[in-house]
Structures are given as C-alpha cells and as structure tokens.
Chain A
Amino acid sequence: MRVPKQRGPVSGWVSAVMRGRNAEVPTLSAGSVIGDADVQLALWMIYELHYRGFDDVPDDVEWVLSLIQLRREIEVRFEAELRAAMAPLPTVADDLGQQILDIADADGGPSLALFLQREADAGQMCDYLRERSITQLKESDPHSFVLGRLEGLAKVALAELQYDEYGGGRLERLHAWLYAQALRAAGLDPTYGAYIEQVSAVTLATANVMSMFAMNRRFRAASMGHLAVFEATSSVPCRRIASGLGRLGFPREVAAYFEEHIEADAVHEQLAARDICATMAAEQPHLAPDILFGAATCLYLEGLAAADLLARWRVEERMAS
C-alpha cells in the first residue's frame, strides 16, 4: 500500500512528514475528532506504520518523534471524547463476564444487520463490505499487541482466541484471508487498504480505537473489554448478513466469511468475557472500570458506524415516509 491521499491539513502533514518533507505542524481544530475524517485518517496512517507500513515510506519513519507526538495529541482528544460519551460507567458487577454479555445484549443501537438481511440492495451491501474492509483485513492484529501484556489464564484465553482468528494453522481459515476472498467474490478490491481513501470518519474511528487500546499498555483492559463486546455482538448479526447475502444472490464465498463468524464468535464471546475480562478483573480489580469503558466504547462506536451507513442510504427517511 502507498500513502493514501490526504483528506485535509492534518493527514496532509502526516503524509509530508512520512515522505521526509518539512512542514509546519498543524493545529487540531476544536470539534469532535471522532467525526473528523482528516484527523482519523492521520491517526490511522501513523498506526499503520506499526502494522504493514507503506511501500513509499522508509521503515524507520515508524518512530519519527513528531509523528508520535501528533499521535499522542490525537489520542488524548479521542480518549477524552470517548470518556465523556461513556459517562457514567455502570458499577462493576460481581460477575463481570456476565455483565459484559448483558451489556452487549442490551444494545439498542440501529440494526444495520437487520436492514442488510431484509432490505439492502446489492450496492448497499457492497458499501457495507467496503467500509468493513478497514478493520477486517487486519482482523485480530490489534489484539496481538496486547498478548504480551497479559498473564496467566487471560493470556492463555486470548492466545486460544487469536489462534482461531488466525486460522488454527490453516491459511484458508485465517479470518482476514476469508474477508479478502469475500471482497474478491463480491467483485470488490481485496487489496489491503484499497478503500482507505473512501471510507467514513467513523469507520476510521472504529479501526483506530482498536489500535489505540492495543498499542497503549494503559488501555490493555479497555482493549479486552472492547474485544469481548465486539465478539458478543457478532454471531447474530453475522447470521443476518449471511442471510441477506443469500437473498441478494452473492457468491457463496462472500457469505462464507460471515458464516464462519456465527460459530467462531459464539465461542469467542465466552472466552473473551469470562476467561479474559473476568479473570483480569479478579486478579487486578482496579482494571475492571476500564474493561467496562472498552466494552461501552465498542457499542458506542459501532452504533455510530451503523447510524452513519443507514443515514447515507437514507433508510430512516424512507421508513418514516
């Protein structure tokens, strides 16, 4: 992948610095960073240096101080915005694992999956597949950064979950690979980062929050709380989406990705909530509120992403008329 086209002054500055040019450091505007495509793309690009990097950027740009400084500045704003939106957090229950599953169950967000199952046209389905490619083509990669920060049963459970995500020793079961196959079968571009210039600010935010939680040790508990809710809100929607793909006559390879996640995530939600999160909280009770913060953040951002797509397709308007 090459450095994406800038979306404003902040991503433009990141792009210039990555190519070794001197440029004046941009000031972040006062508004929301979650809804700012320029800022989210800038953050995504800085994180990407720690994943696959860019063909036209030297590897050692990963640790250029001015980029790390900007990343930090954006992260502080991103966290503050999320903390404000999530306040007040629920009280930590005795059975934190069950509490997380209950939080996921109580999700009252707009049902994107229901719309995709019953009403979406092929163009809207492709739109959804493109947006989701940003997180799914590096599915599970953020959480691999957390593995080294955990101990005991929580580490064992995350490793077990990741091994399944990474195909259990078989490339053809690697989830990110399955997603690339799904994109190809749907007639879309399976190349890593192909749609980064087109996706929405909130799609970038859903990807960035996972990297922010995974790459900062202080967010290790939030990262696992986020993972648990992500897994616990996946099986049923994946079943709906697979059914929608069948209704629209998409090739089998497209639904195969979602079908794999019906069974996989029914396992993973139990592992993540009970073996990872509940164990972490039992061993280090001070981490429990952050687990809940991560859990709530997942629902919040995924809800924004769903609302954003439904609004793009003018679904509410149509339903109201």
Chain B
Amino acid sequence: MTHPISVRLCPDGPLLVRGADSVTDDTGVEHPVTRPVVALCTCGKSQRKPWCDATHKAIRR
C-alpha cells in the first residue's frame, strides 16, 4: 500500500512531512522516519539534521 506524502511549510519554522518512510539528506544519507509526522529543519542550524530541533527560534530572536 502506498501512502500519499504531504508536506507543509510552517512560517519561520520547519517542514512538516506526513506519510514518508525515509528522508534522504543533502549528503545522500537516508534517515528512516519513525513517527507519524516529522519536522525537517529549514533554517540549516539544527544539530540533529535533517530533523528540526527548534534552533530556528534562537536565530529568529
């Protein structure tokens, strides 16, 4: 069964992705998705890339 993947950009925040099995980062490494929704870093400063760790809040301030 294939699931449709949905992606939503949160203002000043991460990309919320539903329905993906894995996320491949910019170096080609594949990260398995282990939760119903994942938040992907868009500010580039996360210490847990590709996942968002809320560091964007410190940048925005």
Chain A residues near B (Cβ < 8 Å): 98, 101, 105, 160, 163-164, 168, 173, 235-236, 239, 262-267, 269-271, 274
Contacts and interface: CB of A to CB of B under 8 A. Distances in A.
Contacts, number: 59
Contacts of B36: 160, 163-164, 168
A235 B35 contact: no
Contacts of B48: 262-263
A273 to B, nearest CB: 9
A267 B11 contact: no
List 7 A-B pairs, minimum CB-CB distance, nearest first.
Answer: A235-B54, A266-B52, A267-B39, A266-B54, A263-B51, A266-B39, A262-B53
A236 B11 CA distance: 19
Contacts of B10: 270, 274
Interface of B: 10-11, 13-14, 16, 34-39, 47-48, 51-55, 57-58, 60-61
A281 B13 CA distance: 21
Contacts of B38: 263, 267
Contacts of A264: 35
B58 A263 contact: no
A266 B34 contact: no
A266 B37 contact: no
A267 B52 contact: yes
A264 B48 CA distance: 12
A164 B39 CA distance: 13
Q: Is the interface of A mostly helix, strand, loop or mixed?
A: helix
B53 A266 contact: yes
B52 to A, nearest CB: 4
Contacts of B34: 168, 173
A216 B52 CA distance: 34
10 contacts: A105-B57, A168-B34, A168-B36, A236-B55, A262-B54, A263-B51, A266-B14, A267-B16, A270-B14, A270-B39
B37 A235 contact: no
Nearest to A98: B11
A98 B11 CA distance: 8
A122 B13 CA distance: 35
Nearest to B37: A267
A168 to B, nearest CB: 6
